[in-house]
Structure formats: C-alpha cells, structure tokens
Structure 1
Amino acid sequence: MISIDKFLQVVQKAEELGCKVVYNSMKKISFNANMFITIPYEISLENTYALAHEIGHVLDFIQGDLDYDKWLNDWSYRVHAEMSAWVHAYKLLTELDVPLDGWKSHVDSKLSNYFKLPDVI
C-alpha cells in the first residue's frame, strides 16, 4: 500500500527533472526522449516502482548515459540501461521513504523478461 502523498512525491521528482508525467491507462508505462513518462493514474506500489524506474531512465538520459536510439535497437545495451534505471529507482524510493514491500519480486519479474531474448544471451 502506498499513500497518495508518497506517489505524488515520486511524480514531483520527475517534474523537478523537467519531465512531464502523462496519465494514460491505454498506453504502456514508458519514458521517451521528449521527456515524457506515461503511466496509468492508478496509485499502487507497483506503479510507483515503475514510475521511479522511468525516472531512472530520465536521470541517465539527462546525464548523457542513455542513448535512446541504442536502447531501442540493441538488446544487450537495453539490459544495461534497465539495470541502471532500477538502481536509480531504488535510490529514489529509499530517499523518499517509499515502502519496498514486493520490490525485489517486482524488479525480478521485469528484468527476467530481458534475459529471455536470444540477443542478450
């Protein structure tokens, strides 16, 4: 369970980085190079973790550590970028004192998808 206030604190972090958070339940949770994060407006721990992860991509992008085109087309590069975004997410969530119940299983389930691809192995 997460409070609305905690969720909005995570949203605020994205906005402080110059990123626009767009609520749309019809689209996949994502970040794009135009500095938009799309996320459903459903306040849950899982969506908060996903939002923090997308903020991790924003941080890497701003710092010049994320090549968006390479991320789209190179699966091995994508695994590295995903790991980095999850590390940033963890730091952000702990900084904001967001509950980490289910964090490990959430991250494990998301990362495992990338290791199923033949280009990564």
Structure 2
Amino acid sequence: MLKLNRVILIGRATKDFELKYSPSGTGIANGTIAVDRPVAQGKEKEADFINLVAFKQLAETCANYIKKGHKFAVEGRIQVRNYENNEGRKVYVTEVIVDRVEFLEQKQQNGGNQSQDRNAPPPPDDDDLPF
C-alpha cells in the first residue's frame, strides 16, 4: 500500500522564524508561511497561514535567513499533534515538518532580487569575499 504525505508550499513569511534548542541541543525553528488561495477574478485575495517546524541545521538556516515578508518555498510533511491546554481542553495543531527550503527572493542592498536554492545560506556580500 502506498503511503504518501508530502506538501510543497510557496508563500511569504508572516514573521521571523523563532529558533529554540531542545535539552539535547537540537535546533527547532517555528515559523508561519502565508500562501495565497486561488480566487475568482474581482474578489479580494485570501490566504492560508500555515505553521512550519524545522529541525537541526535546517532550523538554524531558516531562523538566520527567512525574515518577515521574504518569499520562499518549503517541502515537507503534514503532522497533527495535540495537547491539553490549561483549561483541560484538547487542542489540535496541524503543521508542516520542513525538510527542504528554497529561498525565492533575497533582498539586496541595490533592491534587486536573487534566487537561492535549497538549504544553502544566501551568498556573501562582495565585502565578505576573501579576494
């Protein structure tokens, strides 16, 4: 039997990713991506706001380079978890566990955009090059 749980999203960060570390030292970054919904012509734009979680080195990359408003793509799997809140009610959380990110837009000093691929950090500024 085929088991498939994959999602690819393209959108903009609604806030900077928040990086924390587990007691064992594993990086965990949380963020949210706003993904536009297809709408009929003449209707107001709508968007879905989807929670993202990245782990380890990818968590640090997301926290360092994805800032509010940046356009990016993520690939991962959907996970649903639950917990009991302070009022004793069960709360369900749906999120995408990110295993790949692609930077689609990088703001530069000259105002231009540049694509950035995969998990690599953005290229250094000319001032950072050793030659």
The answer to whether the superposition gives a TM-score over 0.5 is: no
TM-score bracket, shorter-length normalisation: under 0.3
- Provide the TM-score with structure 1 as the length reference: 0.24
Structure ranking higher in strand proportion: 2
- Whichever of the two has the greater Rg, that structure is 2
Structure ranking higher in helix proportion: 1
